[in-house]
Amino acid sequence: MNATPLSADAIGQHLATSASHVSLEVVASTGSTNADLLARVPGGTAAAPLRGPVLRIAEEQTAGRGRAGRPWLSAAGASLTFSLAWPFRSPLQRMVGLPLAIGVAVAETLGQLGVPVQLKWPNDVLKDGAKLAGILVETQSAPDGTVWAVIGCGMNLLMPDELEAAIGRSDISSAPWLARMDRNALMGQLLSRLAAVLAEFDDVGFAAFAERWNALQAWRGEQVNILDHGNILQQGLAAGVDEHGRLLLDTPAGRVAVLSGDLSLRLAS
């Protein structure tokens, strides 16, 4: 694959003022950009603790992860794998809707770049109904009370055969249109939008994003199952999210609100 090399300088040239204070780190290879940044949340033993927002992007990520320790696989030059560490003033309990707000930032950026995508509750970005990107948010409190969120995103730009075989599922997608773009410009635009969304989220919480999320919702009005470790927990028609980011389901017993936890959403059919 012949992608333009990632560079902090080049990403920096594409940042809006919303992200001008974010430190940029590019690495050739690492296990997990999320794990790298989590280890640097103040209060630990890391040599270079976080002092402010940091974006860490890897050409190659060898031990990427999704929720509950599930693997996130990628291939050098074919994927965008990055994490953003961000300090919040909001209390931890306000963070519930954060993965959804991040989905809004990613989806709106891709839409502006000519790649329409939808959001699958709680944390996936779908293109043509299949997974284009995953979002993983991990939070940790520092001794001074600051809540740090480390926001990881893995996005498939191309899908080489070997990667597809390794993932081993058919509902995955890629975005060759984005793969033709300079990845530094793509990263700069994503980061600019993310930074604006995170600042707004810290000020006003998820309520400001519910409508934007609902406008991007995949499977709206469809019959879906909520799975907990493979077992069906709830069934109903997907009806959007509420002001906390809970999924609303219309069931025969009425409308219920489902809080994410480690639940997975599947089409019932």
- 61: three-class secondary structure by DSSP: strand
Site size for ligand ATP (CB under 6 A) = 17
Query: Where do we find the tokens 């402010």?
Result: 52
* Nearer to ligand ATP among residue 22 and residue 226 (C-beta): 226
Check 127, 131, 193, 246 and give the catalytic one. 131
Which structure tokens are listed for 205?
């919480």
For 71, which DSSP code?
B
| Residue ranges in 138-157 that form contacts with ligand ATP under rule CB under 6 A | 154, 156
Residue number with the shortest CB distance to ligand ATP?
66
- In the complex, what is the shortest distance from the CB of residue 239 to ligand ATP, in angstroms, rounded to a whole number? 19
Active-site annotation holder among 40, 56, 65, 67 = 67
- Residue number with CB closer to ligand ATP (123 or 192): 123
**Of 5, 196, 176, whose CA–CA distance to 109 is shortest?**
196
Q: How far is the CB of 64 from ligand ATP (least distance, A)?
A: 7
Location of structure tokens 């074919």: 78
CB 219 within 8 A of CB 268: no
Nearest CA-CA partner of 55 in 14, 6, 22, 90:
22
Residue 85's identity, in one-letter code, is A
Rg value, the chain, Cα: 18
What region, left, alpha or beta, does residue 229 occupy, with left being phi > 0 and alpha being psi -120 to 50 degrees? Answer: left
Concerning whether 169 is annotated as a catalytic residue, the answer is no
Smallest distance from ligand ATP to CB 61, Å: 10
124 binds ligand ATP (CB under 6 A): yes
264 binds ligand ATP (CB under 6 A): yes
Q: How far apart are CA 159 and CA 165, in angstroms?
A: 10
Are β-strands 79-88 and 118-120 bridged in parallel, bridged antiparallel, or unpaired? Answer: unpaired
Terminal alpha carbon distance of the chain: 37
Tell me which of 87, 99, 134, 205 binds ligand ATP, using CB under 6 A: 134
Catalytic-residue membership of 180: no
Shortest distance (Å) from residue 164 CB to ligand ATP:
9
HEC string of 127-186 equals: ECCEEEEEEEEEEEECCCCCEEEEEEEEEECCCCHHHHHHHCCCCECCCHHHHCCCHHHH
Site string for ligand ATP, 164-183 (x = CB under 6 A): ---x-x--x-----------
Active site residue 266: yes
- Span 192-251, contacts to ligand ATP by CB under 6 A: none
Of 53-82, binders to ligand ATP (CB under 6 A) are 66-67, 70-74
* Shortest reach from residue 68's CB to ligand ATP, in Å: 6
Q: Which residue lies nearer to ligand ATP by CB, 167 or 199?
A: 167
Catalytic residues: 67, 131, 266
Q: Which residues bind ligand ATP (CB under 6 A)?
A: 66-67, 70-74, 123-124, 131, 134, 154, 156, 167, 169, 172, 264
